[in-house]
């Protein structure tokens, strides 16, 4: 008896989509995907070649509808029309609310710097695998100039994406576009049951020859609020040919087992085809020590006062670094110096504590840190307790306080 409502719903959806041949074709592809639901595993998320077919059928159908869009002031009405029509397309599931194969997500429209951004989603295990497209109005027609899709479903490469934001930076001069637009996507993988998942941040430059991916990185992050990752992209308008400034923030694992996580900052400047990391790399002395210990020496060397510190970095750096910071951080009698003390735990010896290590850090406002020295002995002139030094901070005033 329980199968009857599903059959009825299926027939209604089929009849509704049959009125539109393209929606009927999309519905048939979704049905094929749903028919393989029992083969779905965490490793493959249910992804197969038909998923790409469904993504493109959905995209192409939407592109025919946006032809009626005269300007970016009417995207809300168009979005409602499109999503209402798509309600009849999804194939009824098996009752497993974590398996979304055979369904489509809500289509989202937004405008960025005069470009139309369309975000779509096709169901996989525990989430919708989303794709994003950018359109530019040329001679009264919306032309697709950029897209972000995950279409390689091999186990080591496929990562379904939930797109948190799409940002566009376009320089203007004298009321006209000056230079190519840059497009950034921020997002994460949702998975099924954990608050720890990969986040991604990517930046493309788009010019007449096509789009070039300049930044493409992914790191494991912790969900502290309703958003895994925040970011911005700007350019100094007062400087000719200034680099594009990309700022990313998310929460990642701390080497201190007692605090669990810390705020991570990725600040990158794009010059030509190259993106390089610059300050700030952290927002507190302890977080700076965390970053210094866990990044490769070729990065940490740029934040070190002396090349001789490499021997300490080599001794302490590993695939897994963990232990406990001593509280609080100490402010030194020299105003711009702080001391952070860390007790490493040895994973090869059942995480037994090892002798404390002291880090002498120069902190210049607002968030410029440098490793001045490392020692197994504390500095006697660093004796002022400073519990506020390692308070939680953010570079984005839109973020709420995080627990």
- Residue 120, C-beta contacts closer than 8 angstroms, at least 6 positions apart: 55, 58, 59, 62, 104, 105, 107, 130, 131, 132, 133
**DSSP secondary structure of 224-275:** SSS-SEEEEEEE-TTSTTPPEEEEEEEEEE-SBTTT-EEEEEEEEEEETTEE
* Sequence-ordered alpha helix ranges (H) in 19-131: 21-35, 49-65, 75-86
Percent of the chain with pLDDT over 70: 93
261 class by beta-carbon count within 10 Å (0-12 exposed, 13-18 middle, 19+ buried): middle
3-class state of residue 280 by DSSP: coil
- Model pTM? 0.90
Give per-residue pLDDT as tens, 376-401. 999 999 999 999 999 999 998 765 54
For the chain, give the mean pLDDT. Answer: 90
Residue 382 burial by CB count (10 A; 0-12/13-18/19+): exposed, middle or buried?
buried
142-172 per-position pLDDT tens digit:
999 999 999 999 988 898 999 999 999 988 7
SS3 call for 155: coil
Peptide bond into 328 cis (omega under 30): yes
Rg (CA), the chain: 25
How do residues 359-377 score in pLDDT, each as one tens digit?
A: 999 999 999 999 999 999 9
Q: Residue 235 pLDDT > 60, yes or no?
A: yes
Cα 73 from Cα 80, distance rounded (Å): 14
For 13-34, what is the mean pLDDT? Answer: 82
Lowest-confidence range among 110-114, 128-132, 310-314, 330-334? 110-114
- pLDDT in the model for residue 12: 45
pLDDT at 297: 97
pLDDT per residue as tens digits for the range 272-293: 999 999 999 999 999 999 999 9
Tens digits of residue pLDDT in 94-123: 566 678 999 999 999 999 888 999 999 999
Q: How many CB atoms lie within 10 A of CB 30?
A: 27
pLDDT score of 18 = 53
At which residue do the structure tokens 């954990």 appear?
194
Question: Which residues make Cβ contacts (< 8 Å) with residue 253, sequence separation at least 6?
Answer: 196, 220, 222, 260, 261, 262
pLDDT of 224 above 80? no
For the record, the structure tokens of 91 come out as 């194939």
Q: Does the pLDDT value for residue 10 go beyond 50?
A: no
pLDDT number for residue 8 = 41
Residue 14 has pLDDT above 80, yes or no: no
Residue 211: CA atoms inside 13 Å, Cβ hemisphere, count? 18
Mean pLDDT of 251-261: 93
**Pairing mode, if any, of strands 323-325 and 115-124?**
unpaired
CA pair distance 205, 145, nearest whole angstrom? 11
Write out the two tokens for 150.
């995950």
Share of the chain above pLDDT 90, in %: 72
For residues 280 and 395, give the distance between their C-alpha atoms in angstroms, rounded to a whole number.
10
Q: Is the pLDDT of residue 251 over 60?
A: yes
Question: Which pLDDT belongs to residue 301?
Answer: 98
Which phi and psi angles does 130 have, rounded to 5°? -95, 150
Element (H, E) at 316: helix 310-316
Whether residue 4 is predicted with pLDDT greater than 70 in this model: the reply is: no
- 133's torsion region: left (phi>0), alpha (psi -120 to 50) or beta? beta
Report phi then psi at 201, rounded to 5: -140, 130
pLDDT at 2: 35
Taking each helix axis as running N to C, give the angle between helix 3-18 and helix 21-35, from 0 to 180 degrees, rounded to the nearest 10.
Answer: 150
> How far apart (Å, rounded) are the C-alpha atoms in residues 68 and 58?
17
């Amino acid at each position: 008896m329980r199968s009857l409502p599903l059959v009825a719903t299926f027939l209604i959806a089929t009849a509704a989509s049959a009125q539109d041949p393209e929606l009927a074709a999309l519905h048939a592809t979704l049905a094929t995907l749903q028919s393989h639901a029992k083969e779905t595993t965490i490793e493959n998320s249910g992804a197969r070649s038909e998923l790409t077919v469904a993504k493109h059928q959905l995209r192409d159908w939407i592109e025919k509808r946006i032809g009626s869009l005269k300007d970016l002031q009417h995207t809300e009405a168009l979005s409602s029309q499109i999503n209402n029509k798509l309600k009849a397309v999804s194939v009824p599931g098996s009752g497993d609310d974590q398996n979304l194969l055979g369904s489509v997500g809500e289509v989202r429209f937004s405008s960025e710097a005069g470009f139309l951004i369309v975000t779509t989603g096709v169901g996989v295990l525990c989430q919708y695998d989303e794709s994003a497209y950018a359109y530019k109005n040329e001679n009264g027609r919306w032309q697709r100039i950029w897209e972000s899709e995950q279409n390689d479903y091999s186990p080591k490469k496929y990562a379904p994406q939930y797109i948190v934001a799409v940002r566009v930076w376009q320089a203007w001069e004298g009321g006209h576009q000056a230079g190519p637009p840059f497009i950034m996507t921020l997002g994460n993988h949702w998975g099924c049951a954990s608050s720890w998942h990969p986040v991604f941040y990517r930046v493309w430059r788009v010019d007449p020859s096509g789009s070039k991916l300049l930044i493409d990185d992914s790191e494991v992050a912790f969900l502290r609020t309703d958003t895994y990752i925040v970011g911005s992209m700007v350019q100094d308008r007062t400087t000719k040919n200034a680099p594009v400034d990309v700022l990313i923030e998310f929460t990642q694992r701390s080497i201190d087992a007692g605090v669990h996580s810390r705020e991570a900052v990725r600040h990158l400047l794009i010059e030509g085809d190259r993106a390089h990391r610059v300050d700030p790399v952290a927002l507190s002395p302890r977080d700076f020590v965390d970053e210094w210990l866990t990044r490769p020496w070729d990065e940490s060397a740029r934040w070190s006062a002396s090349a001789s510190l490499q021997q300490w970095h080599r001794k302490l750096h590993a695939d897994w670094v963990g232990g406990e910071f001593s509280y609080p951080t100490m402010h030194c009698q020299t105003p711009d110096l702080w001391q952070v003390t860390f007790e490493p735990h040895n994973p090869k010896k059942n995480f037994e504590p090892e002798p404390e290590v002291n880090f002498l850090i120069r902190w210049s406002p607002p968030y410029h840190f440098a490793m001045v020295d490392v020692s197994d002995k504390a500095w006697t002139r660093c004796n002022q307790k400073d519990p506020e030094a390692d308070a939680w901070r953010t570079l984005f005033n839109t973020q709420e306080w995080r627990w």
